[in-house]
Amino acid sequence: MRRIVAGLFISLDGVAENPGEWQIDLMDDEAGADVGRGLEEADTILLGRRTFEEFAAYWPSAPADDPFSAYINNTPKLVVSNTLTSVDWQNSSIISGDVSGQLSALKEQDGKNLGITGSLTLVRSLLRDGLLDELRLQVYPIVLGKGKRLFDDSIDKLPMKLVDSKITSKGIAILHYQPAPS
């Protein structure tokens, strides 16, 4: 049975938008190792439309010696979208319509995790639908003041259970949560 696991970078004030603009200079080896574990545990990437379009504009032509480039270009990608009709990036396909049903069926198959990077709207909808099995946050010691936050008014009370935690040498809080039993 597969699990859906989201890995997100987030600021102290909850901003998770455009981490490439603020997170990279703050990252340390321990946070990098946590990201690496997440990649090793997944054999498929789930992306929302906006994140897919941003990634597809950069990663296919990124330097081949970049380890993430090799991973993301060669790993199957499922794009959750009701507006896209085609995708050109290699190993990509679209999930639309009954997304919850399709993802539930994928979770029943054998394989590694379905990993999510970014894709805040997708993460929120999976939390609301009870499909997200684990939320892995890296909370960076920075306040951004503005930007899209992970949680908004679309999420009702959702108890979570901390299943792993670590504070890195640069003060990044690595927090892995699973939905708590009701």
Q: Tens-digit pLDDT profile for the chain (182 aa)?
A: 999 999 999 999 999 999 989 999 999 999 999 999 999 999 999 999 999 999 999 999 998 888 888 899 999 999 999 999 999 999 999 999 999 999 999 999 999 999 999 899 999 999 999 999 999 999 999 999 999 999 887 778 889 999 999 999 999 999 999 999 87
Please enumerate in sequence order all residues whose Cβ is within 8 A of that of 3, keeping only pairs 6 or more positions apart, or say none: 107, 113, 114, 133, 134
For the entire predicted model, the pTM comes to: 0.94
Nearby residues of 150 by Cβ (< 8 Å), 6 or more positions away:
8, 10, 14, 16, 120, 123, 124, 137
CA-to-CA distance for 62 and 43, rounded, in angstroms?
Answer: 21
Domain boundaries, the chain: 4-179
Residue 89 burial by Cβ neighbours in a 10 Å radius (0-12, 13-18, 19+):
middle
How far, rounded to the nearest angstrom, does the alpha carbon of residue 70 sit from its chain's CA centroid? 18
Cα distance between residue 160 and residue 149, in whole Å: 18
CATH superfamily of 4-179: Dihydrofolate Reductase, subunit A (3.40.430.10)
Interatomic CA distance for residues 101 and 124, integer angstroms: 16
Helix (H) or strand (E) holding 143, with range, is none
Please list the residues that pair with 140 across neighbouring strands: 11
- Answer for the pair 44, 74: CB distance below 8 angstroms, yes or no: no
Q: How far apart are CA 37 and CA 79, in angstroms?
A: 22
Cα-based angle 62, 137, 162 (whole degrees, multiple of 5):
150
